[in-house]
Amino acid sequence: MIEIDEKDLHYWLEHVKIYANNGKVADYIPALANQQPEINATAFYPIGDKEVACAGQADYSFTIQSVSKVLTLALALIQHGEQAVFSRVGKEPSSDPFYSIQKLEVEKPSKPLNPMINAGALAVTNMIRGRGSEEMVEEILNLVRLLTDDPSIEYDEEVARSEFETAFLNRALSYFMKQNGIITGSVEELLDVYTKQCAITVNVKQLARIAAVFANDGKDPDTNQPLLPSHVARVCKTFMVTCGMYDASGTFAINVGIPAKSGVSGCIMGVIKESGGLAVFGPALDEQGNSVVGMHLLKDLADDKRWSIF
């Protein structure tokens, strides 16, 4: 059992926060461009009905962005099973950036390579059950409420609207997949759901709890009640390792070696096997779109605590 306490988190966060200067807040999404780069926070949620530990501005709320890709994947797997989900989206890592469209044209049959790139995540969201976008968003919110044990979880309407209005690239990906039968129904409705799932807001303590559920093989870290089927948790963790950190996933697997997922708001959740969930937030991003402070914190902690699963 790997032990992490608040002193650890304080120490390491202090140590790495300077790196925020090396990154840049995501400026291509208007609602994210206003985030203050000096904000940072981290939390560790242990398995076994123990106290969450945190450091920095741990009550600061942020949108989960691409972290939602893991959650909709879990939901789609629960609702439809592996066979159905993987008939629409592949399982292979991609060396292209998360927004890339090329492979959709090159691959025959056309299928997004995995559910962690935008095209794949859009195809997965398209599968979520619900009559209309409102019901679909509610399904996703309910899963996040379940995993965080917080029924008040909502999405940020302003961020959602801002992303919806500028989601030209995601529209291009969606229409391309609609042409190829990967996506069905209204693209505008799909974009409505997708931009809302990305805009779900949490703080690091809540995000750490989500990670802790995965670390506990899908079970509640406090009560051990099953929240996700264990094989669903396992599939999600596998994708987090092979494709969770955009096109820096391979490097992250070598440097850190744990299942993790980042979002362009500057959040990262990391899954520490049989120990707990770690979340870190810092909006300054590196070139691959990962939080600079988050990457350094995870690397240093992983070295110190020997987290790598490899």
Contact footprint for a second copy (CB under 8 A): 90-96, 100-103, 105-106, 113-114, 168-169, 171-176, 178-179, 187, 234-235, 237-239, 241-243, 247-251, 253-254, 257, 259, 308-310
Q: What's the min distance (Å) between Cβ of 309 and a second copy?
A: 5
Q: Return d(Cα 48, Cα 215) in angstroms, integer.
A: 11
Q: Is 204 a catalytic residue?
A: no
Catalytic residue among 246, 249, 256, 271: 246
Long-range contacts of the stretch 129-136 (C-beta < 8 A, 24+): 129/79, 132/189, 133/189, 133/190, 133/192, 133/193, 133/196, 136/193
Nearer to a second copy, 33 or 169 (CB): 169
Q: What's the min distance (Å) between Cβ of 239 and a second copy?
A: 8
- Provide the strand spans (E) within the chain: 24-25, 41-46, 53-56, 62-63, 201-202, 260-263, 267-272, 276-281, 284-285
Contact 277/209 with Cβ under 8 angstroms? yes
Q: Is 186 a catalytic residue?
A: no
Q: Is 66 a catalytic residue?
A: yes
Q: Is 194 annotated as a binding residue?
A: yes
Q: Is 264 annotated as a binding residue?
A: yes
Q: What's the min distance (Å) between Cβ of 102 and a second copy?
A: 5
Q: What are the φ/ψ torsions at residue 10 (nearest 5 degrees)?
A: -60, -50
Q: What's the min distance (Å) between Cβ of 82 and a second copy?
A: 8
Q: Return d(Cα 269, Cα 279) in angstroms, integer.
A: 4
Q: Is 69 a catalytic residue?
A: yes
Q: Is 28 a catalytic residue?
A: no
Nearer to a second copy, 137 or 173 (CB): 173
Catalytic residue among 52, 66, 292, 293: 66
3-state secondary structure of 138: helix
Q: Return d(Cα 279, Cα 204) in angstroms, integer.
A: 5
Residue numbers in the known binding site for substrate are 66, 118, 163, 170, 194, 246, 264
Active site residues: 66, 69, 194, 246, 264
